């Protein structure tokens, strides 16, 4: 069955690589928190940045619901991500595309940037993240 977890039906936005390169250059520690039911690491490892490293090389922390046994909107998944990432919640920017699932991040003190998912990868919405961080 094809659906939300099928990457062929959910391509990455064209500017994911630019975002990850900008975050790496700025020294920002990056985590992925997802309640998707597939392992995203191989997909990230298959994508290359301009220096030849993969997107996965930029990700310091992976919190995937099928591995930790809890999913959004449960507050515990955000607590796990914060614990693994390291800084206090007030120093974390959570970027998400479904506002109804991320209230617990805000309750924990994380600034949350809600970006509606692009209808086409060419929309390039992620420049807003770099702008928000002053990068």
pLDDT at 5: 53
Predicted local confidence at residue 1, as pLDDT:
37
CA dist 78 and 47 (Å) reads 26
What pLDDT score was predicted for residue 37?
84
Q: What angle do CA 133, 80, 74 make, to 5 degrees?
A: 95
Architecture of domain 7-130: 3-Layer(aba) Sandwich (3.40)
Mean pLDDT of 21-33: 96
Ranges of each domain in the chain = 7-130
- The predicted-structure confidence for 64-112, as pLDDT tens digits, reads as follows 999 999 999 999 999 999 999 999 999 999 999 888 888 899 999 999 9
Q: Is the pTM of this model over 0.75?
A: yes
* pLDDT at 69 (0 to 100): 96
The Cα–Cα gap between 6 and 25 comes to 30
Residues in contact with 92: Cβ distance below 8 Å, sequence separation at least 6, in sequence order = 82, 85, 110, 111
DSSP notation for 48-82: B-TTS-BGGGGEEEEEEHHHHT--TT-HHHHHHHH
Q: Are 73 and 101 in contact (CB under 8 A)?
A: yes
The average pLDDT across 34-48 equals 91
Q: How confident is the model at residue 9 (pLDDT cuts 50, 70, 90)?
A: low
């Amino acid at each position: 069955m094809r659906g939300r977890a099928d990457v062929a039906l959910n391509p990455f936005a064209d500017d994911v690589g630019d975002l990850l390169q900008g975050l790496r250059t700025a020294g920002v520690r990056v985590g992925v928190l997802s309640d998707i039911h597939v392992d995203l690491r191989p997909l990230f490892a298959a994508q290359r940045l301009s220096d030849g490293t993969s997107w996965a090389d930029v990700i310091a922390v992976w919190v995937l619901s099928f591995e930790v046994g809890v999913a959004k909107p449960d507050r515990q998944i955000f607590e796990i991500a914060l614990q693994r990432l390291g800084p206090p919640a007030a120093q974390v920017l959570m970027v998400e595309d479904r506002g109804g699932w991320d209230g617990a991040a805000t309750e924990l003190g994380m600034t949350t940037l809600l970006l509606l998912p692009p209808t086409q990868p060419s929309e390039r919405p992620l420049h807003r993240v770099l702008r928000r961080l002053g990068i």
